[in-house]
Amino acid sequence: MTLAFALALTLGGVPSVLACGDTAATTTFTPQTGIVVRSESLTSGIGCGTGSTQIFKYVAVAVDASHQAATAGVYDCFADAVLVNLKPTQIDTGFSLDYTVYVYAFNQAAYTASQVTAPVAQVNDAPTIQKFNQSAFDGLSATYTTSCTATEQGNIQVVASCAKLAASVSTTSVSTVSTK
């Protein structure tokens, strides 16, 4: 071994070998499969806030092709709804990954007056997936409602396609009282 080679190995070779070594543990990353409802597009034209026409919070309920409620959650107006790890639904022709996401948006007063947590807990705390009890959610007197569609795909979060929010029937109906 020549002196130049030994010097190069000592000064240049060893530090570069040590610099490339990695003793850190490897962490495995598993992507979250799911459906995302984008709050920005959901609240467009209405806005977030505490006013009577603004959205304060909203509920998103993922319902599968056989009308089973898969999951539900309550979200702040500015936060995306992320519904993850939904199971495929067995239907007559095989399996389906198609979901409808029902959205119930509330102004602050309607949210405070409603019992939102009860039907959401019914969906999430059930030991098995159950039929979607739409009347329980329709009875919450949401300020706005809409529905979205999405087909879940493996290892990605699919953005749901939502119709524009519409004022709920319960908030648009006016009762007239006669004072004769």
Q: Which residue has the tokens 């639904």?
A: 89
How do the domains of the chain map onto residue ranges?
A: 34-169
pLDDT tens digits along 46-79: 999 999 999 999 999 999 888 888 899 999 999 9
% of the chain surpassing 90 pLDDT: 47
Q: Are 36 and 81 within 8 A, CB to CB?
A: yes
Q: How many angstroms separate the CA atoms of 158 and 82, rounded?
A: 10
Tell me the whole-structure pTM to 2 decimals. 0.76
Beta strands in 16-159 (DSSP E): 34-37, 57-64, 68-76, 81-84, 89-91, 94-96, 98-106, 130-131, 144-151, 157-159
Q: Are 34 and 25 within 8 A, CB to CB?
A: no
**Which pLDDT score, from 0 to 100, does residue 172 have?**
41
pLDDT tens digits along 116-163: 988 999 888 877 778 888 999 988 999 999 999 999 887 888 999 999
- pLDDT, averaged across the chain: 81
pLDDT tens digits along 88-99: 776 666 677 899
Q: Which two tokens stand for residue 79?
A: 């936060």
**Which pLDDT score, from 0 to 100, does residue 167 have?**
94
Q: Which residue has the tokens 């977030």?
A: 48
